[in-house]
Amino acid sequence: RHNHPGAEEIIFVISGHGEQMVEDAKGNPVVAKVGPGCTIYVPESRFHSTLNTGDQPMQLFVVYSPTGPELVLRELPDFKLLPA
């Protein structure tokens, strides 16, 4: 569970299955099952989390607006930067 103050986020599930939580405007958690082809919108500063419930890694394509929150991901131990 985390948020990105001042940035909205769009998550596109490429592969894998999980549960996506995004808090509503009142701070209540809303959870939905997600899988390949699902797109999730996270409003600015809203708390959210992604839980892998499958037996394979999830691959996600994530966009932040404005950019910046993605820089923290580079510090994670399993971060991989793929060539263009």
Q: Find out whether 62 and 10 touch, Cβ atoms under 8 Å.
A: yes
pTM for the structure as a whole: 0.84
Q: Is residue 36 part of a domain?
A: yes
Q: Is residue 78 part of a domain?
A: no
Residue range(s) defining the domain that contains residue 30? 8-73
Average pLDDT, rounded, for the chain = 93
Instruction: Tell me the per-residue pLDDT of 44-78, one tens digit each, with 9 for 90 and over.
Output: 999 999 999 999 999 999 999 998 888 888 888 88
Q: Is residue 83 part of a domain?
A: no
Which CATH number does the domain housing residue 67 bear? Answer: 2.60.120.10
Closest Cα partner for 43 from 75, 11, 79, 78?
11
Q: How many separate domains does the chain show?
A: 1
Q: Find out whether 20 and 11 touch, Cβ atoms under 8 Å.
A: yes
Q: Is residue 25 part of a domain?
A: yes
